[in-house]
Structure 1
Amino acid sequence: MTVVAFDFDGTLSDSEMTVLLGDRCGVADDMAEITERAMNDEIGYAESLRERAALLEGLSEDDARDAFDEVELREGAADLIAELNDAGVTTAILTGGFERGVATALEREGVSVDHIVSNRLPMEDGESEATASDTASGDQPRALTGDVEGPLIEGTKDDALEDLADDVGVSLAETVAVGDGANDLPMLEVAGLSIGFDPKPAVEPACDVVVTSMEEAREVLDEEAVLESA
């Protein structure tokens, strides 16, 4: 059985979650600038993520929910995930983005993956954006703290991919990684097949193949017999 691990923002989705959140509090341009620097490996990913989360301090729960509702899968992504699932491939999303946005986008398309490894934005009362319920009538409105938590802040995607491979019982040489930015480099460098999805210049040298659409990604997986792994 093969493991196929996707990045989310910029890969499965052409949305950038922190920018969508930043739109709600007037800091989208600052978010985009920090994101671009991180994806080009100009600043460390953990530093960039903390800087972006700090800009969101005070964003209301309602506004955060509305931003996550805007996250969408790119064309062809849902079909590819479904085909991989049907083929018995273990599918995973490894993202420095946020669990709530990933879940919302998948639910909208009616697809699922076997594993999601992601980060979270905590609310003032200690709950995260991924699990918080609607604010009850009469309760004090909640807001983001400006912090971020989760396994892929300091943790890297190569370790996450290795853990998944161990769980499934395959070697790293049997895994596939698909990503576009500098924080994807660790998993692209260790995967048996690394697919760059319109990768940043600093990332492209680590890719075995480069694609610019989900259909092209599907063709690569088909050629490599990944879709016949069941």
Structure 2
Amino acid sequence: MTYILTVIAQREATSLTPALINQIRNAVHGAPPMILSPGEAADIPLAAPPDPAVLTEVLHGQPIDAITVKPRGRRKALLVADMDSTMIQGETLDELAGLAGIGAWVAAITARAMNGELEFKAALRERVAMLKGLPLDALERTWKRVRLTPGARELVATMRARGALTALVSGGFSYFTGKVAAELGFQSHRANTLLDDGAALTGGVAEPILDRDSKLAALHELAAQRGVKLSATLAVGDGANDLDMLLAAGLGVAFHAKPIVARAARAKVDHAGLRALLFAQGYPASAFVTE
């Protein structure tokens, strides 16, 4: 078999029963499955990639994700991850804007930028300018409200335990990437820097701005640092500024992504948490590391 179809259920909403796995297997003409996590994830070996229409029909809109990969080189040596709405839930810039009383306005711009409707750098400068005068303690207040995405800790810890290099690369802000990287165990982080006068934000962001091109460049640079080809890399993100990075990586996953990203990416997770990225690499749940 030259392909593997990994199916992953959203654990809180449904169960991947043996009967359902067998139904999927028959629909895609697969070989006997390997259970990665009972009720949650399974590998189905295939001779050819499955027909997307067939998968859609057999899954019947259930909260189950399906990712097709090749067995060779399945486990990746580099993880490059976006932060906002990927490793953490929500957008830190929108949270800051909420404290400034302009949350809805800024969130609307963010949504358009992340769906590729606005040029990223201009949209970032516009949103940051609206934060001028916001006291610096708003950063800490926003951090206290940050929630990690389910599976984030397992993803980073498991890949590090298997020798992978892990990096957080965000179009957001270094104040938050530094804290998220420390919390989750990322070995490095890159992001934009908010400017301040010692008491409040000035409404500016340091140049050059880390954008879509910067994320792609980071993937190439970190792969060279780790001494691997791009085929040995895993990238994950949700916004249009992640798309080039996702398309270049050996396994690029659109995670609960904006429509433009979900349509273009070769792999996507719409329902499950970040554990799905470990299952897609063939890790059984019994091999997951949590610390």
Partner amino acid, structure 1, of 2:216:
D
Partner of 1:138: none
The whole-number CA distance in structure 2 between the counterparts of 1:82 and 1:37 is: 33
Partner amino acid, structure 2, of 1:190:
A
SS at match of 1:147: strand
Partner of 2:132: 57
SS at match of 1:91: strand
The whole-number CA distance in structure 1 between the counterparts of 2:201 and 2:106 is: 16
Which structure shows the bigger proportion of residues in strand conformation? Answer: 2
Partner of 1:185: 243
- My pick for the range that moved more, 198-207 or 176-185, is 198-207
Partner amino acid, structure 1, of 2:218:
A
The whole-number CA distance in structure 1 between the counterparts of 2:86 and 2:261 is: 13
Structural mapping, 1:1-230, within 5 Å:
2-107=77-182, 110-125=183-198, 142-149=199-206, 151-153=209-211, 155-211=213-269, 212=271, 213-222=273-282
Partner amino acid, structure 1, of 2:175:
R
The whole-number CA distance in structure 2 between the counterparts of 1:14 and 1:111 is: 14
The whole-number CA distance in structure 2 between the counterparts of 1:159 and 1:195 is: 17
The whole-number CA distance in structure 2 between the counterparts of 1:34 and 1:156 is: 21
The question of whether the paired residues in 1 share the 8 Å contact of 2:168 and 2:181 is answered with: no
What displacement does 1:154 show? 7.2
The question of whether the paired residues in 2 share the 8 Å contact of 1:188 and 1:206 is answered with: no
Q: How many residues align?
A: 208
* C-alpha spacing 1:218/1:92, structure 2 compared with 1 (3 Å): same
The gaps in structure 2 that reach 5 residues or longer are: 1-75
Q: Tell me the percent identity.
A: 35
The whole-number CA distance in structure 2 between the counterparts of 1:71 and 1:118 is: 17
SS at match of 1:145: strand
Partner amino acid, structure 1, of 2:241:
N
The whole-number CA distance in structure 1 between the counterparts of 2:175 and 2:234 is: 24
What displacement does 1:174 show? 1.6
Q: Which has the larger radius of gyration?
A: 2
Q: Deviations over 1:172-206 (max 9, x none)?
A: 22211111110001101211111110121111233
Partner amino acid, structure 2, of 1:144:
L
What displacement does 1:92 show? 1.0
The question of whether the paired residues in 1 share the 8 Å contact of 2:213 and 2:244 is answered with: no
| Structure possessing the higher relative contact order (Cα contacts under 8 Å, 6 or more residues apart) | 1
